[in-house]
Chains A and B, each alone.
Chain A
Amino acid sequence: MQERTPLETKIEVGKLSVWYGSEPALRGVTFDVASKTTTALIGEGGSGKSTLMRALNRMHDLNPEARVQGSIKIDGAEILGAGVDTARLRRNVGMVFARPTMLPTTIGDNVMFGLAAQGVRDERSMREAAERALRRAGLWEQMADKLDAPASPLPEDTQQRLSIARALAVDPDVLLFDDPTAMLDPIAALSIEDVIARLRRDHTIIIATNDLQQAARLADITIYMANGEIVESGDTPLLFNKPGDVRTEAFLAGRNPRGAVS
């Protein structure tokens, strides 16, 4: 595999707009993400964070009402055009959702699902990939002898870590976390954060979160979004300590950002 410098651009988003029916959810969003950095998307509910995340691996295709305009390039290749192999794209751009949903099968099959869908049939290499993924998600010690047990009865934080392992098993370059600790208690949320922190040096990570502390702890770059637009973006310590826009300042201070516009 080609060596990349740490600041090589991984994702380029240009004038991206998304509509659900006639309702705009994103309005001409433009930003770049450097390779192997962690970017946090923060903003109020409905600001377009999840819509942006879902556009990055074409999950909006599942919504027949979604309409997309603009450009998203990953490693220089446009992903929004027709003829893109979306299955391959999604293996390269893995996604972990707010609520962990286990496939109705065993723990092992959940982790190996992406590989099986890819056409891998060799049981041994699948087991090895599953072990690697579970180790990286900090679950191997706990799950090594339970791979044939059903996944659904696991506690929610373990399910979320299993979701991360499931996404890691197909070896993605980019990982999208859509508010991954929203359903968890603070202790469980910290354990998920630990996992994400360990993954930062090997993957380009984008995390949408409502937890500002989490964004401050994890992200190199933070993007503040409001009303489907990027209000401000920059190095996380700088944005949190010296926001350049009154709306960002208001949001970070817990005030209504709309009231700050005057």
Chain B
Amino acid sequence: MAIDALSDKPARMFRPLPAVVFAACAWLLCGSVIVIVGWLLANGLPKVVSALGPRGPESAIGPLFATAYITVLALPPAAAVGVFAAMGASDVRIFGAAAGSMRSALSLVGSVPTVIVAYAALLAAAAVGWHPSLTGAAFVFAIVNMPLMTGLALRALTTRAAKLREVATALGAPPMYIVISVLLPRARMRLRSAYIIVATQIIGGAATIAILAGANVPASRGALPIHAWPLAVHIWTRGSSADVYGVTAASALLLAVLIWVLQGIAQLRAAPESASQEDL
């Protein structure tokens, strides 16, 4: 049983229902993927391999590659800036009375689905004649996810931290020393959950845009906004190559499962702590 290190009382168990619902959905999605992959395999392995292979702009591997590339590039700066901003914002002596308003603003900005902001930014870039590369897209995703990371890291640092901060301050510790030596190590588990949540946001956003833009994203030579049609429109207008979109749909499902699994891990890791620890 989890032990609340501060009170020495056993932590309250979180309600199991969301976990059960999540597990059921995850298994359903996994089952769907298995069925689709099985169907594809039944239609001939060589055909599937050639469809998945990197053989040009219609390659179904494109969205997967684009998503991975954007995530690897966007997560470290988003995480680093978010944690550092949260370290500053967690101390009222740095931001004074503005700290409260700043937290509210972070919650508000962080709650906007980043995929919308990122997609708008990419379309705006294309509209002014700048055709974003994947690196540019990663940069956009890093920036739009910073408020979310800051908000989550801030919560991780400040949850049930008031008494600890008070005690450490009374012992003559400077504010940043308290954050680094007391609050950060204590918030490690919650910060890990925050990384996973932000990673899933980036993966989800990048995958959505990659799929919307068709398989052209890695090439990105003027791919946006001309090819930035919804997948359904692609399939409707280019029905002759529906097999390729079948594979794209399969990759989308795989991504969805990946996101659900990561978010599930984050939720499960965060739930016992958040259930037993209230903000002071």
Contact = CB atoms under 8 A, between A and B. Distances in A.
A90 B172 contact: yes
B164 A103 contact: yes
Contacts of A95: 170
Contacts of B173: 87, 113-114, 117
Contact of B167 (A57, A61, A97, A170): A97
A239 to B, nearest CB: 29
Interface string B140-168: 00000000000000000000000111111
Interface stretch (B63-71, B90-98, B105-113): B90-98
Contact of A59 (B6, B170, B177): B170
A214 interface: no
Contact of B97 (A62, A64, A103, A113): A64
A59 B172 contact: no
A62 to B, nearest CB: 6
Given A62-B165, A104-B5, A117 B170 contact: no
B1 to A, nearest CB: 15
Contacts of A90: 169-172
Contacts, number: 78
Chain B CB within 10 A, most for which of A64, A91, A150, A163 = A64
Contacts of A65: 97
Contact of B169 (A59, A99, A102, A163): A59
A152 interface: yes
A153 B167 contact: no
A161 interface: no
Contact of A116 (B99, B163, B170, B181): B181
A145 to B, nearest CB: 21
Counting chain B residues whose Cβ lies within 8 A of the other chain, the interface size class is: 20 to 34
B170 A64 contact: no
A117 B164 contact: no
Contacts of B6: 101-102, 104, 152
A236 B174 CA distance: 37
A226 B172 CA distance: 30
B172 A62 contact: no
Contact of B164 (A64, A88, A99, A104): A104
B166 A59 contact: yes
Given A152-B5, A152-B6, A97 B166 contact: yes
**A-side interface size class:** 20 to 34
B163 A101 contact: yes
A153 B171 contact: no
A41 B177 CA distance: 32
B186 interface: yes
Interface string A108-124: 00000110111000000
B8 interface: yes
A52 to B, nearest CB: 15
Interface in B2-34: 5-6, 8
B261 interface: no
A43 to B, nearest CB: 22
B36 interface: no
Contacts of A116: 181
B96 A117 contact: no
Nearest to B162: A62
CB-CB nearest 4 A-B residue pairs: A91-B172, A117-B173, A114-B171, A95-B170
16 contacts: A59-B166, A62-B165, A64-B99, A90-B171, A91-B172, A97-B167, A97-B170, A101-B167, A103-B164, A103-B168, A104-B5, A104-B185, A117-B168, A117-B174, A117-B181, A167-B171
Interface of B: 5-6, 8, 92-93, 96-97, 99-100, 163-174, 177-178, 181-182, 185-186
